[in-house]
Chain A
Amino acid sequence: MNLTLFVWRQKGPAEKGRLEQFNAKDISPEMSFLEMLDTVNEGIIKDGKEPIAFDHDCREGICGMCSQVINGVPHGPQEKTTVCQLHMRNFKDGGSIYIEPWRARAFPVIKDLIVDRSALDRIIQAGGYISVHTGGVPDANAVLVSNDDADAAMDASECIGCGACVAACPNGSAMLFTASKVTHLAMLPQGQVEAARRVCVMTEAMTQEGFGNCSNHYECQAACPKGIRVQFIAKLNREFIRAQFKGARRESPQ
């Protein structure tokens, strides 16, 4: 396959970026999208130039590191698939591909396709956990969890923290990401004690980090490589209302 790439190049956070054109020649349909970029990069290096910088690590769709907008779609055209799991057989020979970084107010570009997503970490730091110390916990089977609840918690907990939902949202909202963590913990008996406080501090952190509001566009769900559903946002909203009734304190749990 031969393809024409238009790739976002930006030297640093303060620099201006632009699209640069590259030819990807002799690409095999068996290659993953990132292997295609590897091949292009080898050529760029041989030409004595700086290769395209992009985040990646596991290349198995689980670490959440890869993050590219391909032809306007975060993670590209294949449903429920991260960039690293996307294969070239999904593209047409002779076509053009536009490759850009996540774009959101809360994700400043570091270089080329690499952005700073530490804002997502700070949402979790605000309270996206159960405040248990190491040691002194009951036997694992002491508290039963229904198969359905465990399943629902697991569905929500599959989020890989990639940030595609933010990149897809016209408001740059991190609602799907936050809702997945809130739901995961709210589905489990162990997560109940802090549920009200958790939803309050996490949504507050979201606003503080510069993420936009959710106005039900549902672009996030379409972009999410892990099939995290917008129903979890409804769950977050319910948890939030319940917390307001309880008059939950907003400080983060310690």
Chain B
Amino acid sequence: MILDGKCPSGPLSEKWDKRCRELKLVSPANKRRYKIIVVGAGLAGASAAATLGELGYNVEAFCCQDSPRRGHSIAAQGGINAAKNYPNDGDSIFRLFHDTVKGGDFRSREANVYRLAMLSNNIIDQCVAQGVPFARDYAGYLDNRSFGGAQVSRTFYARGQTGQQLLLGAYGALSRQIKAGSVRLHPRTEMLDLVLIDGEAKGITVRDLVTGKIESYSADAVCLCTGGYANVFNLSTNAMGSNVTATYRAYKKGAFFANPCFTQIHPTCIPVSGDHQSKLTLMSESLRNDGRVWVPKMKGDKRPAHEVPEAERDYFLERRYPGYGNLAPRDIASRAVKEVCDEGFGAGSSGRGVYLDFADALKRVGKEKIKERYGNLFEMYEKITGEDAFKQPMRIYPAPHYAMGGLWVDYDLQSNIPGLFVLGEANFSDHGANRLGASALMQGLADGYFIIPYTIADYLARTTPGKAGTDNPEFKKSREDVETFTKKLLSVKGRKTVNEFHRELGRIMWDNVGMTRSEEGLKRALKLVPELRAEFLENVKVPGSGADLNQELEKAGRVADFLEFAELMARDALLRNESCGGHFRAEYQMPDGEAKRDDENFCYVAAWEFSGIDNAPELHKEPLKFENIELAARSYK
């Protein structure tokens, strides 16, 4: 099937206005008759739930943590982009749009990205009004910095805690609606199934993580804002609880999963220290503004960094990408780092790391300024490694970080299932094959504050409220299915822990579906993953019962989904016989090792439809057209 993203016609800059004019409205008096479920309370979910509540809808909000203030968005460090052009350095909505499409290696929808760039400015206004304490200059104006993949300074930031401050803003707005009674909050609750009535999304089934109770909630529409799936690699920069469960189970109910193989490996993370490692810590990419990346010119050089003379250092990003230097986009930087380490130039005892050196910047602007910019990052680095980055360079290595892929949505953020909307990292929409730094926060908030309130009304206005209650047979069946699966996990009583399976899956994925992929490796993954899944269902050990708080059971459910989803990822990567963005296929590269995109055959979104776990999923394509930017090879040289 050829999919249609339903982008409005007309000039790029008028598409969103045009769509807004066409969208139906729900009258103020009618809004409270409609119930909307919002799953997830990160930036996308909190901003959506708060705004929909303000408008007068009846909102049920869900999250896994004990409070919506803890959604994984809280961990974002570096900043949020906007096309304000406050520094007067030549930025514009068109340029932000252009950079994002180019950064995404021409695998995103022009219309969506342009809208995102347009709305970016409203986001900053909104957040400032909420009291987000963005950095300011001495005259009291907002300060900006530059980020990977951009030649202008358009990133707004709040020290190294931008995600935290933006989320606290959205959490405040959400808290206000909870107090007002328009939003009911269900923390420590996990969505385990999507319920369809006559083919439309009308509710969810959840597990209360404290009491273990399986319950259903019905509504007139469902918004999934459940974040990304980088934890399929086990070790990633995501929070421990980040998962694919909500989106994957929606996929199993018929929602298309788009571009699952587009995952982002972040170049600047603290290297792994041992087998006990439970997660990887990101050092914000903003550090690349002032830090210079280098390795010794001599292979296997084990001298401490300060003993390597200047002439014997290879600043390989500056050398290979003079135009962008240390700010080359993430996929390019990550691959370059892995390559120099694979070739034996890596720094540190493990050889799996490169230096990120602040010596020059410290000389140029002084310790105080560096501390002001990145103080908390330097502290965090020291806590984890025991090393002081003011005295010796940081060591960094790439780690899985972000999922560009996600549930397929049209221009209205509606999936192929009517009534199911997907926001934030959970959808596939705006970042193509690679996301630029500081663009995820922007997208989550654009989706939640400024897009969904308009587009969901159009769907609701066409439906009668309260179509089905939770006593409907579909809901009953959903609860039974969830109960059965929970019981099954508890009854295996095998010998291996959930973590052991997750670690094994992570290794398979990192080795074969990680930064560089090949036909051979992908086929290997397609063999190993189902084997591991079969073993999981026969040999996993989940202690305790389903009738109270049971963290192993929660994890088991998530790992079970990763074990299925991993196969979809490998399949998607195997289909895409080209290299683009975060998807690098060893077979498709230029003589100089750069990615070789194939626009003739792969300029489309791959959207997969579930057809039973033992059958190959069905592929649907949404062709991508570029009318405003020339489809050109991405060069950062």
Contacts and interface: CB of A to CB of B under 8 A. Distances in A.
Interface of A: 11-12, 28, 30-32, 34-35, 38-39, 42, 45-46, 48-51, 53, 55-65, 78, 80-81, 85-87, 89, 110-111, 114, 116-118, 120-121, 124-135, 137-141, 143-147, 150-151, 153-154, 157-158, 160-161, 184-185, 187-188, 190-191, 252-254
B159 interface: yes
A192 to B, nearest CB: 10
Interface stretch (B27-35, B68-76, B244-252, B430-438): B68-76
A178 to B, nearest CB: 14
Contacts of A137: 125-126, 128-129
Interface stretch (B174-182, B339-347, B397-405, B457-465): B174-182
Contacts of A31: 274, 276
B278 A134 contact: no
A128 B549 contact: no
A150 B239 contact: no
Contacts of B624: none
B130 A132 contact: yes
A147 B136 contact: yes
Contacts of B141: 141, 144
B130 A121 contact: no
Interface in B163-203: 164-165, 168, 171-173, 175-176, 178-180, 185, 187
Contact of A110 (B65, B127, B210, B279): B210
A138 B129 contact: yes
Interface of B: 47, 50-51, 54, 65-70, 72, 74-75, 84, 86, 122, 124-131, 133-142, 158-159, 161, 164-165, 168, 171-173, 175-176, 178-180, 185, 187, 210, 239-241, 273-274, 276-279, 281-282, 379-380, 383-384, 386, 449-450, 453, 495, 497, 499-500, 541, 543-544, 548-549, 551-552
B131 A130 contact: yes
Contact of B133 (A50, A124, A139, A150): A150
Nearest to B67: A121
A73 to B, nearest CB: 16
Contacts of B549: 53, 110-111, 114
Given A50-B544, A140-B84, A185 B131 contact: yes
B125 A45 contact: no
Contacts of B274: 28, 30-31
A141 B142 contact: yes
A145 B126 CA distance: 15
Contacts of A188: 131, 133
Nearest to B171: A124
Contacts of B159: 154, 158
Contact of B178 (A125, A133, A161): A125
B66 A116 contact: yes
A187 B136 CA distance: 14
A81 B75 CA distance: 16
Given A50-B544, A57-B65, 10 more contacts: A34-B278, A61-B380, A129-B173, A130-B131, A134-B449, A137-B126, A137-B129, A144-B140, A147-B140, A190-B128
A76 B138 CA distance: 38
Contact of B239 (A34, A57, A153): A57
B179 A125 contact: yes
A87 B386 CA distance: 9
A140 B125 contact: yes
Given A31-B274, A252-B179, A62 B75 contact: yes
Contacts of A135: 122, 126, 449-450
A11 to B, nearest CB: 8
A118 B67 contact: yes
21 contacts: A35-B276, A38-B499, A51-B543, A58-B75, A58-B239, A59-B279, A64-B74, A87-B386, A121-B67, A124-B172, A127-B179, A129-B131, A134-B51, A134-B449, A137-B126, A141-B141, A146-B136, A158-B161, A161-B69, A184-B131, A187-B133
A188 B65 CA distance: 29
B176 A125 contact: yes
